Structure 1
Amino acid sequence: MTTYSVLVPFAHCRPERTLPFAAFVQWSRALRLWLAQGDGGDPHQTVAFAAASGFRVPVGTGVRLMPHRHPFTAAQETQALAVAAGHPVVAGFGPGASVLQQALLGAPYASPLGAAREYLTVVRGLLAGEEVEHRGEYYTCLARLPSVPSPPVEVGLGVLRPAMARLAGEVADVAVSWLTPAAYLREVVVPALRAGAEARARPVPRLVAVVSTALERSGRDVGELVLAAHTHHLRMPHYADMLRRAGVAVDRADLTAAAEAVVKGGAFLSGTAGHLAEQLAEFRDAGVDEVVLNVSGVYAAAGGRAALEELDELLREAVP
């Protein structure tokens, strides 16, 4: 059965701005509150602030970028996050763009797949309470986390393309996709996840899809909402490559045309509640276990009240 969660639709700079969305998860049909990677603030501190304010809910962080922290620090922070939230946590990670790797590490990963394999292996081992002895090409960790009673944690890997999806099948509990059309997930990502899992004789990871949406409104320009939410993504080579593989012709030199293509290609959903229900059902049928509703374009254009009202309408009318 596919579940539905919500994404905090902005980068977390001031944690109090997150509280209405944490409250929404408490009283609505949403399963989990997801916080995306951002340049301002930190999801761990934001969740701790929300919990101390009386809003303790299941949490997902995705996708945190590996160059920002050593895997021991990532595991330590994730453990503390689960304790603070008091609910299950999905901790997603990914190598990020090569330009970020260059800026923080001095050089891009020679193999993002190899670096991600090492990173998740260390994090999962630490969170499982193991004494980790890892001496790899990218990371070294000879340590153990203290045993702390906490809710369960799933370790996720951000996946856009088939090679990373196969790796997720081998080493992750969860695969997290972003801006990926349902047909691409069904035809490319899910088979790669299964192949990776079969190669290691392990269960297929859960698939989480962060799906950008905007209900049809008078005077609303959907292309502007796409750009408000995803200009950064549309400029990144790895997102453009994934979208082209999915049959979405994205020209990074013409973002207006790229936004139109993203809508036509099913990477950004727009329409009436009924139409969105049909489009969201395609993600369920593609094998997605958890759909995360992303209304960041609506938030950028109309603010927090409009974003919450839209999430409420989607969950009440468009989600079975």
Structure 2
Amino acid sequence: MLETNQGFAYLAGAGVRVPVGIGVTLAPLRHPYYAAMEARSLALATGQPVTFGLGPGGTSFQTGVRGEPYRSQLGAMREYITTVRQLLAGGEVHAEAETFRCDARLAQCPAPPVELGFGVLRPRMARLAGETADVAITWLTPASYLRDTVVPALEEGAQSAGRPRPRLATILPIARRRPQHEPFKLAMASNFAHSRAPHYIDMLGKAGIAVDAADPIAGAKAIVAGGAFLCGDVDELAGMVQQYWDAGVDEVILNVTGIYNVEGAEAAVEELEVLLAALAASPAAPSTRAETIGAR
């Protein structure tokens, strides 16, 4: 509904200059040169570090904007993130990739650091993130799936490249239980498009959550039951979030899109205030920064 980079730039112009993260910017919409310039521009506008997440999007989206999907999702993203990183580092780039050409150098100036992230759902992309990214960004991924599948794949990729495992940042769709809204309806308000996308259905299946695009209500109920959408009272939610820290997540991002879509912005802000206060007060809360994102 609002292009994320422009939204953050608007906030910076309004005086809200804080570290920001994007999970994720879709590569089919941007030449790598523009992505690098956009990420660096955001760091300059905010005066703060930026985590710039990149992802290929679904194959149907790729076809819709390119006329065809990437022949190789992994190959396209490896070429893409490598080129963006080289441009941000100030090097002269000569790349003849399958999906783009880049013979250019990004004009250099002092700027806060930019972290490059990868949107990760499945093991092969996680291994690539382990090799090439600063941070792996996940969405709708149950804690057990991260522990058993994503974290080992990240470690495997990092080990093969002789580098430390990238940070793991997980976006959690979350809501307190409400008498006026059944949990599956909040999940549908938050994740309806994801529960119909083949790559999300495949990931959820690997996580033991059976979702059928033809039955979105049953899919939403399965997503809640399987712990991909978190819903409960405050104490229950604190326990659910703790499972993510225990699974090896380094950064938790709370997403209240479901509340925003059914009750509006005021209710969403209140939800974040209550949840952040409760989670920060939890004895098991790690000493990392708490972050919020209102919509994705």
Amino acid aligned to 1:52? G
RCO (CA 8 Å, sep 6+): is it higher in 1 or 2?
1
**Match in the other structure for 1:29:** none
Equivalent residue runs for 1:20-169 within 5 Å: 42-169=3-130
**Match in the other structure for 1:181:** 142
Amino acid aligned to 2:42? L
**Match in the other structure for 2:251:** 290
Deviation at 1:45, TM superposition (A): 1.8
- Counterparts of 2:6 and 2:226, CA distance in 1: 36
Deviation at 1:228, TM superposition (A): 0.8
User: 1:118, 1:139 within 8 Å by CA — same for their partners in 2?
Assistant: no
User: 1:93, 1:157 within 8 Å by CA — same for their partners in 2?
Assistant: yes
TM-score (norm 2): 0.93
Deviation at 1:136, TM superposition (A): 2.1
- CA RMSD of superposed structures (Å): 1.0
Equivalent residue in structure 1 for 2:194, among 225, 233, 238: 233
* Runs of 5+ unmatched residues, structure 1: 1-10, 13-41
1:61 alignment partner, SS class = strand
**Match in the other structure for 1:194:** 155
1:1-48 deviations in whole A, cap 9, x for unaligned? xxxxxxxxxx32xxxxxxxxxxxxxxxxxxxxxxxxxxxxx2222112
- Counterparts of 1:227 and 1:197, CA distance in 2: 35
Percent sequence identity over aligned pairs: 52
1:145 alignment partner, SS class = coil
- Counterparts of 1:106 and 1:260, CA distance in 2: 34
**Match in the other structure for 2:289:** none
1:70-112 deviations in whole A, cap 9, x for unaligned? 1111001111011011111000111111111112212111101
Deviation at 1:217, TM superposition (A): 2.1
Amino acid aligned to 2:224? V
- Counterparts of 1:213 and 1:182, CA distance in 2: 13
**Match in the other structure for 1:22:** none
- Counterparts of 1:273 and 1:92, CA distance in 2: 29
Amino acid aligned to 1:259? A
Amino acid aligned to 1:275? E
- Counterparts of 1:243 and 1:148, CA distance in 2: 43
1:188-218 deviations in whole A, cap 9, x for unaligned? 0000000001001011110010000010222
1:239-271 deviations in whole A, cap 9, x for unaligned? 000000000011111110000100110100010
Query: Is 2:169 aligned against 1:217?
Result: no
Amino acid aligned to 1:289? D
Amino acid aligned to 2:217? T
* Runs of 5+ unmatched residues, structure 2: 286-296
**Match in the other structure for 1:243:** 204
- Counterparts of 1:259 and 1:69, CA distance in 2: 32
1:227 alignment partner, SS class = helix
